[in-house]
Amino acid sequence: MAQVVRLAAVDKTYAVRTRAGRVRRRRREVRAVSDVSFTIESGEMVGYVGPNGAGKSTTIKMITGILTPSAGRIEVLGLTPTVDRRRLTRRIGVVFGQRSQLWWDLPLIDSFELLHHVYRTERARHDANLAAFTERLDLGGFLDVPVRQLSLGQRMRGELTAALLHDPALVVLDEPTIGLDVVSKYAVREFLSETNRERGTTVLLTTHDLDDVEHLCRRMLIIDRGRVLLDGAVDRFKAEHGNDRTLVVDLESAAEPLPLRTGQVLRTDGPRQWIRFDRRRTSAAAVIAEVTAAGAVRDLAIEEPDIEELIRRIYASRTEGSPGDGVGL
């Protein structure tokens, strides 16, 4: 299969100027991305995951030709993004979750019509794509509504359509589900996997929502502080790192950490206690039963590990495990 994206030892450093004294300014280099290498094959769907400020957006901007890497090589669909930027734009679609590419004051359909001219897509192909996306994403009810009056979920469905109307071979999405409600998130995910399956579109998406990755991607890259921490199959990663759950209980009154057999109290804060358990060894019901037996419970909730927590564990397993073993994938 053809390589769609290839990064080889890519660095990106920014010069940040800070004040040092009254007039003098000190120039400091900040490394946003450091020695990042990976390839994405045609038809893959890859999640690019990391906490805020990890370097996700910087990588995306380099792949799409907005930023030039400070070192290393990038190739996208056989082109060098910053050099062949205009040519590349015809073959990729980009969605920035927090920035719209739609015409704010005009009906949604007008944006699509304008993009048809900007990308110079064939009329018939444009119409067929628009009809297909309208049906898939259920846009029919608000095609004539000005974008500024759309809900976030409706607007995001519009953004997806806008990014895909010109049949890009690669679609890059930066936080496409941020701020969306559950129903819209589901619609976005469903649409992306259908597009990937039926059109063979390669998908790269950044997110800090692990749910997105679980539902969409077979492969994930975890990035933290500019470095790729892990590159591997989502299933295996989940099997190794994603089995811990935390039960948060509010007791009637402050108490010593509960002595439990099924789980372990991580920390306490007044009447609230955080209890970790492994869902492969025990069930949530068993833990809850043991906790209620030990003391009166007012309220409880079960938390899945978030991305920051998982990254902490990867670091931990790295220092514990044999050196050179990577993260065991």
Partner 1 sequence: MADGLRVYRLMVAAKIRSAWQYRTSFVMFLFAQATITSLEFVTILLLFDVVPDLGGWDRREVALLYGLATLPFAASDLIISPVERLSVHVRAGTFDRFLLRPASSLLQICAMEFELRRIGKLLPAVAVLWWAMAGVDVDWTPSSVGLLVLALTSGTVIYSALWIATASLSFWIVATQEATNAVTYGGQFANEYPLHLYPGWIRAVLGWIVPLAFVAYVPAVALLDAPNPLALPDDLVYASIPVAAATLVVSLRLWSLGIRHYQSTGS
Q: Which of 42, 80, 82, 193 is in the footprint of partner 1 by CB under 8 A?
A: 82
Tell whether residue 239 is a contact of partner 1 (CB under 8 A). no
User: Using CB under 8 A, which of 114, 248, 255, 297 touches partner 1?
Assistant: 114
Q: Looking at beta carbons only, is 96 or 191 nearer to partner 1?
A: 96
Q: Which is nearer to partner 1, 38 or 119 (CB)?
A: 119
Judged by CB under 8 A, does residue 144 bind partner 1?
no
Q: Which residue, 103 or 277, is less far from partner 1 as judged by CB?
A: 103
Is position 66 an interface residue for partner 1 (rule: CB under 8 A)?
yes
Nearer to partner 1, 161 or 262 (CB): 161
- In this complex, which beta carbon is closest to partner 1, that of residue 33 or of residue 310? 33
Q: Would you count residue 17 as binding partner 1 (CB under 8 A)?
A: no
Q: Does 152 bind partner 1 (CB under 8 A)?
A: no
If one asks whether residue 183 binds partner 1 (CB under 8 A), the answer comes out as: no
73 is a site residue for partner 1 (CB under 8 A): no
For residue 65, state whether it binds partner 1 (rule: CB under 8 A).
yes
* Binding string, residues 84-103; x marks residues near partner 1 by CB under 8 A: -xxx-xx---x-x--x-x-x
Taking the least distance from each CB to partner 1, the nearer of 103 and 142 is 103
x-marked contacts with partner 1 along 18-57 as a string, rule CB under 8 A: ----------------------------------------
Long-range CB pairs of 63-70 (<8 Å, 24+ gap) are 63/5, 63/7, 63/172, 63/204, 64/88, 64/92, 64/94, 64/172, 65/89, 67/12, 69/10, 69/11, 69/12, 69/33, 70/11, 70/12, 70/13
Least distance in Å: CB of 82 to partner 1? 5
- Using left for φ > 0, alpha for ψ between -120 and 50, and beta otherwise, residue 6 falls in beta
Q: Which is nearer to partner 1, 61 or 155 (CB)?
A: 61
Q: Which is nearer to partner 1, 70 or 243 (CB)?
A: 70
Degrees (nearest 5) of the Cα angle 216, 219, 221? Answer: 110
Rounded to whole angstroms, the Cα distance separating 184 from 153 reads 5
| Residues of the shown chain interacting with partner 1 in the complex, contacts defined by CB under 8 A | 12, 14-15, 58, 61, 64-68, 70, 82, 85-87, 89-90, 94, 96, 99, 101, 103-106, 110, 114, 117-120, 146
